Chain A
Amino acid sequence: MSVIRRRTRLIAVAAAAVTALGVAACGSDDSGTTAGGKPDKLVVETFGEFGYDELVKQYEKDTGIKVELRKTAQLNEYRPKIVRSLATGKGIADVVALEEGILNEFKTNPANWADLTPLVADHSTEYLPWKWELGKAGDGRLIGLPTDVGSLAVCYRSDLFAAANLPTNRDEVTALWPDWDAFIETGKKYRAATGKGMLDSVTTAASAITFQVGGDIFYDAEDNIVADKSQAVKQAWDTSLKMVDANITAKTATWSPEWSAGFKQGTFAATFCPSWMLGIVEGNSGPENKGKWDVAGVPGGAGNWGGSWLAVPERGQHKAEAAKLAEYLTNASSQVAAFKLKGPLPTNLEALKNPDFQAYTNPYFTDAPTGKIFGGSVEAIKPVRLGPKHQAVKEQAMEPALRAYEGGEATAAAAWEQFIKDAATQGAF
């Protein structure tokens, strides 16, 4: 599904820190087999909310195979679990969800994953083409079936916009910022009227821009690190620096306590929202701010942030059935059902055309037609090729450097130098 439901990240970190030093008990590998080779039970390992709860009940009814859903709240806890099960073969699930930021890292050792091509029907034309392609590893094997995609929008507080004498209607707000320069101008107006930063942090904008520009981000097609010369990085970097210079951000680092509290306190009035972020905005803002948030279009066109695939580990005992289950969970009707239940945005072309999906409105966000907003921009997303350690370069090289500049701890040149140096070490694989 999406990056990291990190709402309660602190607690997770604490728990991780405590368990990190102990010996972690792995789940037992207890999926037994009956005589005919048909498994009694399949295990699906996911993080966050994929919305599969109702779907697997139907599957159990149809096939007689029991399905155990193992959920981990956050991606940063989830990844080590997958690594551990792959490295030791203990407690390995039959179907494993891989998020776009970590998928590429696992792709560098494709032998860990079953090739799905012979195991499922040909679905190559049924999904967003780029999304489908990203499910393939370098050696050509299909390791993941597409689940969801993040897409991109702007979440904004209409009450704070009103207080700053800015328009509040979502169409008028979208019209405020046809491009990034206009977005910065709006931020300046907001600062002048309220004395506060409009945008939460420069890193959310940088993330949005890299995905908008698309093409090579930190790696080229041969997986060489090109962070120092890629167009996506350059545009994101330059625009980010402009935003810092124009002082339009509240300097709250994403996922930090300041950031989480900022939603409720009105420290900032806008953030970039992939569809999975809506739940995080809602959770951080609390029921008392219902109806104050709304969803507008993003400056500079469509983009994506987050999204996952379902993969089948090579060491799993029931690869054929597991692949069938993954196929079922990612088909058009399942994706619409999952969206209705928990919100992951479909990637199946038929699901995106489904009237139920398109008509959906989100009551928390002033009844914003999120089905239409996100669904409408999905097909305009440019294919983005993420390198093996994209997430590490993004979170451990680019964002810290930008934050250092945003906080005034480094000059533009020093921040760039730090970024390039860290990109080389973090990006090595």
Chain B
Amino acid sequence: MRRARWDLKYSPYLYIAPFFVLFGIFGLYPMAKTAWMSLHDWDMIGEHTFIGFDNYTALFQDEYFWNATVNTLGMFVVATVPQLVLALFLANLLNRTTLRARTLFRMAIFVPNITSVAAVAIVFAMLFQRDFGVVNWLLGLVGVNPVDWDAQRWSSWTAIAFMVDWRWTGYNALILLAGMQAIPKDLYEAAALDGANQWRQFWRITLPMLTPTFMFVVVLSTIGGLQLFTEPLVFGNGNMRGGTQREFQTLAMYMYEKGINSLNTAGYGAAIAWALFLMIGIIAVVNFALVRRTVK
């Protein structure tokens, strides 16, 4: 009897323990350690000196940090806006009852997402090569001079946006599709009876009813976009710098450059990691507030 009570009291904790133990080891501990490191002048294989918030004050005056921030946000906008429009379009298309082989198409648009990100980035980096790239060859057919894709901001951002969108558009389209399927059919029927055409139905019914799902997709894209790393890295031939003049260096790349590549600035790298974490936190809160408002 007594044992059963003990069991009742403690075994639930045991059941949920695996998550918390793993989270503690792989989530909480690295975060705490990173925070601790960010308060030090931390040499990976040498001295660790406590310096308080000096890393953070230095960060605020670091031109390259702000450059990476602008790049990250810029690439996020360049990649995400067309991506969401396209995803919405695809989802709407797949939602049509008249479409044949719907399941096949729904599966097909998801395939890019399960492809290895590194493989995608390597292939796209080859397509966007200056001398022997397919994209420049195609542009040449219509009389455009070859573009040195990684030499300017606009061109590198465009190329990277292509990689990101290729991989994530289908994923977002599926989430939006799920949202669309949850919209009651009778709304459309009623609208059709009142003489609203497909276009009008989309604007007046689908879009407003889809807002919560849409915001969810925006939040996911934001978090992913701010952590952009592999695509620009591979596009820039593996250099953490991201272009000769840091045209496409993201915050994650700058963090890696300072925290991992350069042994003696691990503390500074940790400070960048926390700055990035706070940035994502702020944006997530703003998003959350917006979602709550729109759902009401």
Whole-angstrom distance between the alpha carbons of A230 and B234 in the complex?
34
In the bound complex, residues from chain A placing their C-beta under 8 Å from that of B263 are 83, 105
Contact B245 A418 (CB under 8 A): yes
Interface residues of B in 257-277 (CB under 8 A from A): 260-265
In the bound complex, residues from chain A placing their C-beta under 8 Å from that of B130 are 258
Scoring A residues 256 to 268 as 1 if CB is less than 8 Å from chain B, else 0, what string do you get? 1110011001010
Interface size on A, residues (CB 8 A): 48
* Partner among A109, A392, A407 whose Cβ is within 8 Å of the Cβ of B43: A109
Contact B264 A258 (CB under 8 A): no
Contact A9 B245 (CB under 8 A): no
Give the segment of B83-91, B99-107, B116-124, B278-286 that binds chain A: B116-124
* Partner among A13, A265, A409 whose Cβ is within 8 Å of the Cβ of B152: A409
On whether A10 and B122 interact (CB within 8 A), knowing A83-B45, A401-B244, A404-B245, the answer reads yes
* Partner among A76, A106, A409, A428 whose Cβ is within 8 Å of the Cβ of B244: A409
Any B CB within 8 A of the CB of A12: yes
Any B CB within 8 A of the CB of A121: no
Contact A15 B118 (CB under 8 A): yes
Any A CB within 8 A of the CB of B132: yes
In the bound complex, residues from chain B placing their C-beta under 8 Å from that of A35 are none
Interface residues of B in 135-177 (CB under 8 A from A): 148, 151-152
Contact A10 B234 (CB under 8 A): yes
Contact B45 A112 (CB under 8 A): yes
Q: Which residue of A lies closest to B264 (CB)?
A: A429
Any B CB within 8 A of the CB of A253: yes
Any A CB within 8 A of the CB of B131: yes
Interface residues of A in 1-27 (CB under 8 A from B): 9-18, 20-21, 23
Whole-angstrom distance between the alpha carbons of A404 and B246 in the complex?
10
In the bound complex, residues from chain A placing their C-beta under 8 Å from that of B151 are 407, 409
Any B CB within 8 A of the CB of A37: no
Contact B237 A410 (CB under 8 A): no
Any B CB within 8 A of the CB of A360: no
Whole-angstrom distance between the alpha carbons of A293 and B200 in the complex?
68
* Partner among B131, B230, B237, B245 whose Cβ is within 8 Å of the Cβ of A261: B131
Contact A13 B238 (CB under 8 A): yes
Whole-angstrom distance between the alpha carbons of A294 and B256 in the complex?
40
Interface residues of B in 12-32 (CB under 8 A from A): 26
In the bound complex, residues from chain B placing their C-beta under 8 Å from that of A76 are 238
Q: Which residue of B lies closest to A112 (CB)?
A: B45
Whole-angstrom distance between the alpha carbons of A212 and B46 in the complex?
33
Any A CB within 8 A of the CB of B126: yes
Contact B125 A257 (CB under 8 A): yes
Whole-angstrom distance between the alpha carbons of A12 and B122 in the complex?
11
Contact B229 A17 (CB under 8 A): yes
In the bound complex, residues from chain B placing their C-beta under 8 Å from that of A105 are 263
Whole-angstrom distance between the alpha carbons of A85 and B256 in the complex?
18
Name the residue among A10, A13, A392 with the largest chain B CB count within 10 angstroms: A13
Q: Which residue of B lies closest to A6 (CB)?
A: B238
Any B CB within 8 A of the CB of A366: no
Any B CB within 8 A of the CB of A252: yes
On whether A265 and B131 interact (CB within 8 A), knowing A86-B45, A105-B263, A257-B125, the answer reads yes
Q: Chain A nearest CB: distance from B162 CB in Å? A: 17
Whole-angstrom distance between the alpha carbons of A76 and B241 in the complex?
14
Q: Chain B nearest CB: distance from A306 CB in Å? A: 19
Contact A17 B244 (CB under 8 A): no
- Describe A's contact surface by its main secondary structure: helix
Whole-angstrom distance between the alpha carbons of A287 and B255 in the complex?
41
Q: Which residue of A lies closest to B151 (CB)?
A: A407
Contact A108 B46 (CB under 8 A): yes
* Partner among B43, B116, B229, B245 whose Cβ is within 8 Å of the Cβ of A400: B245
Name the residue among A9, A17, A83, A395 with the largest chain B CB count within 10 angstroms: A17
Contact A258 B129 (CB under 8 A): yes
Name the residue among B118, B130, B237, B260 with the largest chain A CB count within 10 angstroms: B237
Any B CB within 8 A of the CB of A319: no
* Partner among A11, A253, A265, A389 whose Cβ is within 8 Å of the Cβ of B132: A265
Contact A11 B230 (CB under 8 A): no
Q: Chain A nearest CB: distance from B119 CB in Å? A: 7
On whether A255 and B237 interact (CB within 8 A), knowing A86-B45, A87-B45, A401-B244, the answer reads yes
Any B CB within 8 A of the CB of A80: yes
Contact A407 B244 (CB under 8 A): yes
On whether A403 and B244 interact (CB within 8 A), knowing A14-B121, A252-B131, the answer reads yes
Whole-angstrom distance between the alpha carbons of A12 and B118 in the complex?
10
Any A CB within 8 A of the CB of B44: yes
Q: Chain B nearest CB: distance from A144 CB in Å? A: 16
Whole-angstrom distance between the alpha carbons of A429 and B46 in the complex?
11
Whole-angstrom distance between the alpha carbons of A267 and B119 in the complex?
26
Q: Which residue of B lies closest to A267 (CB)?
A: B131
In the bound complex, residues from chain B placing their C-beta under 8 Å from that of A231 are none
Q: Chain B nearest CB: distance from A107 CB in Å? A: 11
Whole-angstrom distance between the alpha carbons of A23 and B129 in the complex?
32
Any A CB within 8 A of the CB of B233: yes
In the bound complex, residues from chain B placing their C-beta under 8 Å from that of A10 are 122, 125, 234, 237-238
* Partner among B46, B118, B241, B265 whose Cβ is within 8 Å of the Cβ of A18: B118
In the bound complex, residues from chain A placing their C-beta under 8 Å from that of B131 are 252, 258, 261-262, 265, 267
In the bound complex, residues from chain B placing their C-beta under 8 Å from that of A86 are 45
Contact B118 A17 (CB under 8 A): yes
Any B CB within 8 A of the CB of A377: no
Contacts A9-B237, A257-B132, A400-B241 aside, 19 further interface pairs with beta carbons under 8 A come to A9-B238, A10-B234, A10-B237, A10-B238, A13-B233, A15-B118, A18-B116, A18-B117, A76-B238, A255-B237, A257-B237, A261-B131, A262-B131, A392-B262, A395-B239, A396-B241, A407-B148, A409-B152, A429-B264
24 A–B contacts from the bound complex (CB under 8 Å) = A9-B237, A13-B234, A13-B238, A14-B121, A14-B122, A14-B234, A17-B233, A18-B118, A80-B260, A83-B44, A87-B44, A105-B263, A108-B264, A109-B45, A109-B46, A252-B131, A257-B125, A257-B237, A258-B130, A258-B132, A261-B129, A400-B241, A409-B151, A409-B245
Closest 7 pairs between A and B when the two form their complex, measured CB to CB: A13-B238, A14-B118, A400-B244, A109-B46, A404-B244, A403-B244, A17-B230
Query: Which B residues lie at the A interface, using CB under 8 A?
Result: 26, 43-46, 116-119, 121-122, 125-126, 129-132, 148, 151-152, 229-230, 233-234, 237-239, 241, 243-245, 256, 260-265
